[in-house]
Structure 1
Amino acid sequence: MVQFTNILFAKVHKISRKYLRAGFRDNLKIYVQGGPGGNGLPKFGGVGGNGGNVIAVAKDGVSLDDVYKQNKSKRHIAKGGRHASHNFILGPPGEDLHIEVPVGVSLITELGKKLGELNNEGEEVMVAKGGAGGHAKNGFLGTRGQAYHVRLDLKLIADIGLVGFPNAGKSTLLKAISQAKPKIASYPFTTVKPNLGILTYKDHRQISMADLPGLIEGAHANRGMGHQFLKHIERTKLILMVVDINGFQLSPQYAHRSCMETVMLLTKELEMYNEELLLKPSMILINKMDSEGAFEKFQEMREHLKNPLDFFKNYPNELRPTKHLKFCDIVPISAKEHPEDVEYVKERLRNLLDVLTELQENEEVDKSDEVYNEARNVLSERGPALI
């Protein structure tokens, strides 16, 4: 009885879910206010100093979490201009306030007006202009600076963006191919925040790869991770789709999807969010090829990928995309069991990015179909073609 009582009233130790609270922010709302202008001096025609401006500056290595920690009140107010006086007929202007923000941030007002975006180190955008100093035309009274709330919206800038349903093996691949240390487990939604890995080569070449939270059906309608994931794909150079050869089932409430159905649904989600994403160069990795019967499934998969729209037409409109991603390369791998597969993928990714850069510099090749065909041709020359 005593033992039972001890068990009944024992202190329950909750499993820490700190990883859900900590870490990555991809948007932050702040208040910005330009400094007020100083008053003029009517007696001597003195002019007040202009208020300081609030300026956002892009800086590598800064996160939105850093922006929040630097000023937890989230109120960024520039200094006001000084009044004109007997000693200072021209009042000194207020000091500008500079806010360091991550590269890749867009700045948007509450009314939806885009003030600008910062895609390179050192770029600046004035987000709130200071008020004018007092002078004869405004009755020598300084005016207020601009003041409003601004949303900082971050879209990751990476060379490669990983796309796939939960538990497809994206995090395993990223860990094996780079120095990233993503959380890995055998249940869906292991990745709850973006992970960025760097692929480093012997000649010191570096390529960035982002593993983003897994999509689910309906992500375009903001289900699951929804737009928190999809917006990050827009600034990648290459989409790397990772699918499980055995298909995927999120839970008993969802239907089991075959590997090809997974490709169809992922393509649909990308199309519904922004159909221009389907014009991006892409590669597909068929993962978990060490499982039983994988080779036979891959042969069938490869045939379907020769003309995906023929496969898609057997499904209702809400599931099938109207277009398809044109994969420049199809690679069967076992990211967990075969390290040599990972090295092969690493080289193919580098070759593909190099080819795409060469083609984009060629003004004669400006159509996506031509880029796709040229990329496949060059890749086949640089290594064994798998399709």
Structure 2
Amino acid sequence: MWCEYCDKMKRARTKFVDMLRLHVRGGPGGMGLPRLGGVGGKGGDVYVEGKEGHSLLKVRKARPDQRWVGATGMDSRKYRICGEAGAELVIPVPTGTTVWHEQYKKALGEINCAGDKVLVARGGQGGNPNNQYNGQKGQAHMVKLELKLLADVGLVGFPNAGKSTLLRAISRAKPKVASYPFTTLQPTLGVVEYSDMRQLTIADLPGLIEGAWANVGMGHSFLRHVERTHFLLFVVDINGFRLSPKHPHRSATENVMLLNRELELYSPELLSKPALLVVNKMDSHNAEQKYKDVRNFLSSASEVSQQFPEEFRPEQHVSFDDIIPCSAKTNQASVLHIKERVRMFLDLYQDLSGQQGVKEEKAIQRVHGQLQEGPLRLV
């Protein structure tokens, strides 16, 4: 594990939070009034609710002790026999949040849209004849909030491949860009707009490193965001990449295979997502020949990959719908081409999967069939 990298990740977590543990407790019920048969008010329930523009960082700052307790139900009294229920407590969270019961490792619900609510702790019953008029305690347990970015497209690649530069060129996002690895320390969302007012969201994820599937370099924190994207845009540097002087240099072809392997080890289901491959920095010396080598490799990847060491040889290969050469920094035409191809394939998949009785897997198979039969075949 590279210490400098991990130090940067720890600093980034102070600005972006995608997992948070909270102690939640429903409010206690109010006391009943035995001599008059009065019933105490129910304790307030605790909910998690989706809110636009919110973040888990705001949730963490709102309660430094991470304890959220519902309001107490009112006691029964002679001038109000039925005590008022305690007010419910709502914890605002960003959309894309999954709520887990920490002890039982069970998902309590998902927040996919603003206004979605999940009950995380019930308030206690008010005092009544069944409990000798003693107000009951509310439910109390630990919950885990896990954020997975909701985006149409997810950028996947090793550090310094040019993902942030591409996102800047293709959208209105302003991620930090520099000529050294690990510029992106936290996920960034960009919005791509088209002339007909269509909009797509693209998530720029921090660069993976070898072993991300095993959570090396906080790999799980990044890979979980890929799960909620509809389309993957792999970005590799035509010149390859070297993590540090302690690591070997990997060619562009090896990087494609390693990215494939990292996703496969984390979750094989990710390989079934539609994907494009962007070969970036084509303004480099001898880039055309290297690009031909990448295409030749991918045309027979399952056979050629047998020549590589087993530790980064995937069992299942990503089926790229297109391989696009690009120079995100100097060639705007190549960026516009990527923009149009991403939309074309997204629309194609969504149209097919939207047809009645056609599952997403079938839609992918149909698109691949059309690519092989028609003039769109590029790989």
Place the TM-score, normalised by the shorter chain, in its bin.
Answer: over 0.9
Deviation at 1:384, TM superposition (A): 6.3
Alignment of 1:134-213 (within 5 A): 134-213=127-206
CA deviations 1:8-62 (Å, max 9, x no partner) are xxxxxxxx99973652111122221110001111112211111000111111211
* RMSD after superposition: 2.1
Deviation at 1:149, TM superposition (A): 2.3
Which residue of the partner structure matches residue 91 of structure 1?
83
Counterpart residue type for residue 32 of structure 1: V
Which residue of the partner structure matches residue 262 of structure 1?
255
Give the alignment partner of residue 231 of structure 1, picking from 221, 224, 236: 224
Which residue of the partner structure matches residue 215 of structure 2?
222
Residue 39 (1) aligns with residue 31 (2): yes
Alignment of 1:310-329 (within 5 A): 310-329=303-322
Deviation at 1:370, TM superposition (A): 5.8
Q: 1:248 to 1:17 in 2, by over 3 A?
A: closer
Which residue of the partner structure matches residue 108 of structure 2?
115
Contact 2:253 2:297 in 1 (8 A): yes
Contact 1:47 1:90 in 2 (8 A): yes
Counterpart residue type for residue 333 of structure 1: C
Contact 1:46 1:89 in 2 (8 A): yes
CA distance in 2, matches of 1:88, 1:329: 71
Contact 2:158 2:208 in 1 (8 A): yes
CA deviations 1:255-279 (Å, max 9, x no partner) are 1111111111101100111010001
CA distance in 2, matches of 1:337, 1:384: 26
Deviation at 1:378, TM superposition (A): 6.2
Which residue of the partner structure matches residue 309 of structure 1?
302
Contact 1:220 1:272 in 2 (8 A): yes
CA distance in 2, matches of 1:158, 1:379: 28
Secondary structure of residue in 1 paired with 2:307? coil
Which residue of the partner structure matches residue 236 of structure 2?
243
Q: Which moved more, 1:17-26 or 1:212-221?
A: 17-26
CA distance in 2, matches of 1:371, 1:236: 15
**Larger C-alpha radius of gyration, 1 or 2?**
1
Contact 2:9 2:185 in 1 (8 A): no
Q: Tell me the TM-score normalized by structure 1.
A: 0.91
Which residue of the partner structure matches residue 352 of structure 2?
359
Give the alignment partner of residue 252 of structure 1, picking from 245, 249, 254: 245
> What runs of 5+ residues in structure 1 fail to find an aligned partner?
1-15
Contact 1:49 1:83 in 2 (8 A): yes
Q: 1:210 to 1:373 in 2, by over 3 A?
A: same
Contact 2:349 2:363 in 1 (8 A): no
CA distance in 2, matches of 1:330, 1:314: 22
Q: 1:17 to 1:362 in 2, by over 3 A?
A: closer
Residue 338 (1) aligns with residue 331 (2): yes
Q: Which moved more, 1:127-136 or 1:24-33?
A: 24-33
CA distance in 1, matches of 2:358, 2:29: 54
Contact 1:178 1:197 in 2 (8 A): yes
CA deviations 1:253-310 (Å, max 9, x no partner) are 1111111111111011001110100011111101111111111111121121112111
How many residue pairs get aligned? The number is: 371
Identity %: 49
CA deviations 1:78-116 (Å, max 9, x no partner) are 111111121122111111111111001111233123221
Residue 349 (1) aligns with residue 342 (2): yes
Deviation at 1:372, TM superposition (A): 4.2
Q: 1:380 to 1:351 in 2, by over 3 A?
A: farther
Residue 280 (1) aligns with residue 273 (2): yes
Q: Which moved more, 1:368-377 or 1:356-365?
A: 368-377
CA deviations 1:134-179 (Å, max 9, x no partner) are 1111111111001122221101000000000000010110011111
CA distance in 1, matches of 2:96, 2:363: 29
Which residue of the partner structure matches residue 51 of structure 1?
43
